[in-house]
Amino acid sequence: MALCCLCVVALGLVATGSAAATSELVVETTGSYDAETKTFTGTYEYDLPSNVRELTVQFDELGTDGIAVSDTANLKQVDDTTFEWTGGSDPVIELDVDPSRSQIGAGNYADGETGFIMTPSPRLSWTYTGSNPTVVNRASFDGTGHATTRAMYAGEHAHHTDAAGTMVASVIVPAELESEIDAEAQLSQATAAAEFAEWRLQHDRLTLYVLPGEHTPQRQGGQAIGNVAWVASDSAAVDTVDNVPAHELAHIFLGSFGDDEMLWLTEATGEYYGYLIALNSGQGTFDEFYDTVTDERYEDAILTDPAVVSQSTADYQKGAHVLAGLDAAIRTETDGESTLLDVLTQETYDLEDYDEFKAAVVDVSGEPALAAWIDQYVDGEETPAIPDDESLFTLPGSTTDEFTKVGFATELGPSPQFSVSGLHRDLPLRDSEPTVWVGERVSTTATIENVGSEDGAHTIPMLVDGHIAATETVHLEAGETATVTIGHNLTSSGTYELAVADESITVTARDPASPQVDSITADIDPVRGVETPLEIPVSNPANRTAIGTVPIEADGEQVGEVRVALESGEQRTVRTEIVPPTAGEVTITAGAVSAELTVREPDTGSDTPEQVLDSMPGFGGVTASSVIVLVVLAFAGVHAVQRR
């Protein structure tokens, strides 16, 4: 009887057998998208070689919200997540995924003809005779889109690709973002990272999806799962040491490190090695790297406390700081023969255990005192000093020659550093957490200096809740300084954190009241096609500022508008002019007030004194705001001025 063996593997990993392996177990994943139902479908087909006797397919995500089996062939379901094949035709399973409900990944969305999901990942086990088959994973998309074994994108897109040794890197950019995303720079960073080191996780390909910023979670610029990552379009730039794509690349190459006392290590390595990937691929200066990695935020945070890590970003800031110090210490103790990366890639110690992590560091460095060093800074309320030495922060395949020589320093002006401007005011924000009105602009002025030795361009962003909301770009010669103003209009109510450089402010945007129109006064002898003066008394009976646009219509067609701002209790009269488009009885409406106007043809007319028309209140008064400002408009020849 032939010997039968068992093999277990997760999709995306290759089950290695003997060197004599000649058969392949092919997993063909096909993605599709239904724009009507906003549902993705993944079809998993298993092309089994003749020496496979049994196959088990397990989707751990089944039973979770938004994921369901829609069809199977030649498979028997044995429990909520597991299916078995025991012979016959090749098996097939089809899963439907609702992006709005699926909890696999944080960037899932569906919007009309486009969408994105992180896909379920099956675990396979099989019995075989003879040589163990090699697993081959293939993925395609049925329709307009792109698929990997871990993600699917539906919609028009550009596919950028490059190779680093045996690894292929791809960047997928939606068509509407192609003009604003530097995909080639992202590819260059990814392939450089792959060539720098023998990482903890080896991949034959990696894929980075750029997603529209409005569809990604606030305060989250990206996410990596397996060999796939997404980044938000407003976090996709790679021109600084602290760039999101580099952070996600670090996760792809290093993976995660467990929970409890070692929960901190996953994001600490993502942050620190993200900095190193960016620095060593020429995306920033050493000074920028040093200033970033020596961040003292959360210096008293105890990283081994999972509650601290889960409720803050201490694992990012302090975690990266501590790992930079530990990396430098290992290099110093070993005269550069070993680095922290040797600790992370060794297979003797379990890095999900704090004591074994310390043992791995001692083993690699040969210095027992580093165990106490780790206790002092990881399990204590201190941060280590970081040597200001470029040579201690190169990746194995890099040198300090790779570090860019263009660098920029950004500084905001004296306090108060942020100001608000709008229809009725332009003033500094002096409160620590001020209130502004929806529609107003919050801005700041920044001074940028090229502190490097070469000319270059620099883009300064304004972040709103962690997403880039505005940018200003300057080109500076070495040593040159420029001042720019950058701002953002808050278009909906809520509380927001706005940040530029290292400074931030939290503002609450409130909806203002609306201006109330009290009546309409017009020339009693208006002529078709001729400017007709209107006077519109407005008021604000509300207990808050009123800011708004009052549309002016003639028989339902907008012929102008006035923008007003009134403080609580304030009354003003606005004068404007309209050009009646037709003759006869015309209904003039401003806000919620209407009046009948008799318009004659231009070949007749007489001088008639101004009078108040019969005003017909509409749906009742609404409010208005601050010092009145009237904007000159261009609707059908309308001109607006303010009566003083």
- The answer on pLDDT for 583 being more than 70 is yes
Query: Helix/strand/coil (H, E, C) string of 238-301?
Result: CCCCCCHHHHHHHHHHHCCCCCHHHCHHHHHHHHHHHHHHHHHCCCCCHHHHHHHHCCCCCCCC
- Parallel, antiparallel, or unpaired: how do β-strands 503-510 and 435-437 relate? parallel
469 versus 403: the higher-pLDDT residue is 469
pLDDT at 624 over 60: no
- Averaged pLDDT score across all residues of the chain: 87
Q: Nearest-5° angle of CA 358, CA 361, CA 363?
A: 110
622: confidence class by pLDDT, cuts 50, 70, 90: very low
Q: Of 550, 551, 488, which is closest to residue 513 (Cα–Cα)?
A: 550
Mean pLDDT of 317-321: 97
Lowest mean pLDDT among 304-318, 517-531, 533-547: 517-531
Q: What is the pLDDT of residues 422-446, one digit of tens each?
A: 888 899 999 888 999 999 999 999 9
Domains of the chain in sequence order = 1-155 (2.60.40), 256-403 (1.10.390), 408-510 (2.60.40.10), 516-642 (2.60.40.10)
At 218-258, the pLDDT tens digits run 778 899 999 999 999 999 999 889 999 999 999 999 999 98
pLDDT tens-digit profile of 74-91? 999 999 999 999 889 999
Q: What average pLDDT does this structure show over 63-73?
A: 93
For the ranges 6-20, 181-195, 376-390, the lowest mean pLDDT is seen at 6-20
Cα torsion angle, 230, 233, 239, 242, sign: negative
Model-wide pTM > 0.75: no
Whether the CB-CB separation of 257 and 352 falls below 8 Å is answered with: yes
What angle separates helix 264-280 from helix 286-293, to the nearest 10 degrees?
170
What residues contact 244, with CB distance under 8 A and at least 6 apart? 221, 222, 231, 232, 235, 236
CA 280 to CA 393: how far, in whole Å? 9
**Axis crossing angle, helix 314-333 with helix 286-293, rounded to the nearest 10:** 120
Per-residue pLDDT band at 7 (split at 50, 70, 90):
low
Asked if residue 185 lies in contact with residue 238, where contact means CB atoms within 8 angstroms, the answer is: yes
Give the tens place of pLDDT for each residue, 133-154: 999 999 999 999 999 999 999 9
Average pLDDT over residues 110-125: 95
364 SS3 class: helix
State pLDDT tens for residues 584-599: 999 999 988 998 888 8
Q: Looking at per-residue confidence, does 612 or 507 come out higher? A: 507
Residue 91's pLDDT is what?
Answer: 97
Which pLDDT does position 407 carry in this prediction?
61
